[in-house]
Amino acid sequence: MELWPPAADDALLAELRAALRDPGPVPEEFLAAALAAFSWRTVDAELAVAALTFDSACDLEPAGLTRSTGSARTLTFRTGPVVVEIEVTPAGIVGQLAPARGGRVTARTPAGRYEEVPVDAVGFFSMGSPPAGPVQLCARTAEYAVATAWVSLR
């Protein structure tokens, strides 16, 4: 009959026992990193997600969906009383928030933030040309925070 645990594991078990006995104080930088990570658990919960309600690239016509003939593309996002309207051109994005408030708009891709710009008191903002792939705009004012649905702007 073989003893359990096998004798070869005695050294490993002794090391585990020692590690569990008194790990010592947790370094401050580990605590700070843990608290910072924990605070991010609700970062998206505070943002209302604005749904795409209009896209000029998909105007409904009797024959079905067709491409718009203009060079600029207009998109409208809405959540409750908040509207984010943008116009995308080869030169970049211009947009307006309603209700009009000053604040900041951040543009991000799945890889992370790529641009952040101010919003003036009447709700206008402009930014550079968007990258290929899905993009989300996040607008923050003193009164509201909203993120658009992910959409490809090119």
Q: Which domains does the chain have, with CATH numbers?
A: 7-42 (no CATH), 48-152 (2.60.40)
Residue 31 pLDDT > 90 = no
Q: What confidence tier does 65 reach under pLDDT thresholds 50, 70, 90?
A: very low
- Choose among 123, 125, 70: nearest CA to 92: 125
Token pair of 61, please?
């016509």
Between 5 and 57, whose confidence is greater? 57
Cα–Cα distances in angstroms (integers) from residue 150 to residues 82, 135, 147, in the given order: 17, 5, 9
Q: What was the pLDDT predicted at 35? A: 81
Residue 20 pLDDT > 90 = no
Token pair of 7, please?
């004798």
